Amino acid sequence: MIRRELRPKGGSSQWLLIPQVEHASLACALARAWGLLPFVESASQDILIQTIRRHDDGWTDWDQQPQVDPRIGKPRTFTEMPLQAAHDIWTRSIASCRDLGPLAQFLVAAHFIALRRGGDSAESAEAIRFIDKFELRCREWLLEWQSLAPAQNTPDTARRVLRFLQMFDKISLWFCCADRNDDKHFQDPDGRTFVCRPVSSSHVTCSPWPFRQSRIPLHVTGRVVPPTRYTGSDQLAKVPWQNLSLSWKLTPSR
């Protein structure tokens, strides 16, 4: 779950709790519109897009009943999760992509391995167990995928597809996590740099323009709750809330 602070003009601040699957759907919308995807004529592109859409499906139960961090009294955002809880969710996300085939499971597992390696707890015993377990599974899934079409399903191809998943994930999180005022630079797997520039809270431009359409509509929906100190998830569950959608238009820079 993403906990985003809202500061409406003339009103009290609030928290918008955005489900991870909403973030994943936004990432998928970006991927579908991208004009520079690999595998233009290959089924691997479709697997990549479906994997992006479903890579956070393991969060569904958590997002429906968010837990509270007792130290700070806030609903836990995805960066504040206990390791075991995060690993359980990630494991369910990996398993949820089983029907998409070995490439999808490789992509989701490798994505979470990279996140864990880049975190502050990478040297903990729990993190090492997760990494070791899924590094082994990644090798198995990669070999299985290679066996389906040895000439085109190469390790380099899989790693390139992984970098696309990671890029769309980062762009989506940039939109979802906060209202932005500063430019953000993103780099694709081929080394091309793109600049996202906020024009307003609902309008962002991108240069150079990598999308097929001339305008990309984006949105996520979450629930608004008061920014108070919660004693636990039971109290949070009883708080009246309302749905709120955030929308953006993404256009070329002029």
Higher model confidence: residue 111 or residue 40?
A: 111
pTM of the entire predicted model: 0.94
Span 191-211, pLDDT tens digits? 999 999 999 999 999 999 999
Span 110-164, pLDDT tens digits? 999 999 999 888 899 999 999 999 999 999 999 999 999 998 899 998 998 999 9
Domain ranges of the chain: 2-180+218-249
The strand pairing partners of 119, in sequence order, are none
For the chain, the 3-state helix, strand and coil shares in percent, each to the nearest 5, are: 50, 20, 30
**Mean pLDDT rounded to a whole number for the chain:** 93
Instruction: Let me know if 132 is exposed, middle or buried by CB neighbors in 10 A (0-12, 13-18, 19+).
Output: exposed
99 vs 114: CA distance, rounded Å? 23
